[in-house]
Amino acid sequence: MANLQSWNNIKDPNKITVGQKLKLTGSSTSSPKPSSKQTSYTLPSGVIRVTSPMRKGDDVERIQKALAALYFYPDKGAKNNGIDGVYGPKTANTVKRFQSVNGLSADGIYGPKTKVKLEEFLK
């Protein structure tokens, strides 16, 4: 069974050195996937909050994808981690968690300050 050790010809995992480049897949022909940090996120301007009916669209999906890139998922157990383009209670809660962790007013409303903070982490 192939694993990280065999792909990197590691006999003793205790001797891996700091800064050593490791292959994460066994296939040497596959191109490496770009990290989320290299992906460009064009975040919408303005204020987005839970409304009735719920706001839907590409702008909401861009916010959700940016949050997911930073490991804040609208719904970890759902298909595509809850990235569905709908600004509902789960997305608002995800925004609220992001805001809380990053010293913003945790109101679950996506606005200019939240946008700036997201962009800082996505650079």
- Looking at the structure of the chain, the number of domains it has is 1
Mean pLDDT, residues 91-105: 97
**Residue 29 belongs to a domain:** no
Residue 34 pLDDT > 60: no
pTM of the model: 0.67
Residue 84 lies in a domain: yes
Cβ contacts of 97-105, under 8 Å, gap ≥ 24:
97/72, 98/67, 98/70, 98/72
pLDDT band of residue 91 (cuts 50, 70, 90) is very high
93, pLDDT greater than 80:
yes
pLDDT at 83 over 90: yes
Structural domain for 74, as ranges: 55-122
pLDDT recorded at residue 123: 86
